[in-house]
Amino acid sequence: MTKAGWFRRGMKDGIPIALGYFAVSVSLGIAMQNAGITAFQGGLMSFTNMTSAGQFAGTTVIAAGSGYLVMAIMELIINARYLLMSCALSQRLDQSVSLPCRLLFGLTVTDEIFGISIARGETYLEPMYSLGAFAVACPGWTLGTVVGAVMGDVLPDRVVSALGVALFGMLIAVFIPPAKKDKVVAGTVAAGMILSFLFAQLPVLSRISQGVTIILLTVVIAGAAAVLFPIGEEEATDHGT
């Protein structure tokens, strides 16, 4: 298949991703509008930083008035998974792929595009396939963000609040399925919920900014789970890693 053919196939496979991105990024745009971010700023952020969890967390940090250091550390922790994804994808690229093409290919690494790219059975990945999926998914994510930011200015507060629930629906859809299959994951999720509640309610802990709280809980809970319940090679294979 030609490079153009791979690009077209990537665009076709990227359509469902784009539709899902649009639906989720509308709630992101609303959150950005509530944080004082304009539709242009939000759209530019989504176009240049297509990372759902990272942008939601960044918006939370902006809304909380936290500093740049908190922002940098939290984004590093949240987006560290892309480093692992990139390493996995790089092992599937032919040696003839040039450095500029590899750098451009790295722009396409999102959870969903990584999934459809790594799932292909070919020995070597064709970068144009991922670029095709990205060419469709990125506009969907960006447009949804702009629409959400604009809607936040137009719609009644009750409607905006209701649409914001989409964020929590997305998060629930992410952690509930694996939590039902793995007791360790379920325990980790439960620990995160309990500790987050305590940090929000206890007099001393509630003084800690929301951004710092997220960093602390992420590092402590994930680190404890990794030390107490390490995943062996056979388990990692079963989990699809």
- pLDDT tens digit sequence for 43-90: 999 998 888 778 888 888 888 887 888 888 888 877 877 887 888 888
Q: Are residues 140 and 189 in the same domain?
A: no
Q: Are residues 16 and 123 in the same domain?
A: yes
- pLDDT tens digit sequence for 23-53: 888 888 888 888 888 899 999 999 988 887 7
Q: Are residues 59 and 108 in the same domain?
A: yes
Q: Are residues 18 and 131 in the same domain?
A: yes
In a domain, 154, yes or no: yes
Q: Are residues 130 and 30 in the same domain?
A: yes
Number of domains comprising the chain: 2
In a domain, 171, yes or no: no
- Within 10 angstroms of residue 85's Cβ, the number of other Cβ atoms is 18
| pTM for the structure as a whole | 0.67
Q: Are residues 159 and 211 in the same domain?
A: no
Rounded CA gap, 46 and 37, in Å?
A: 12
Alpha carbon of 76 to those of 82, 142, 145: distances in Å? Answer: 10, 22, 22
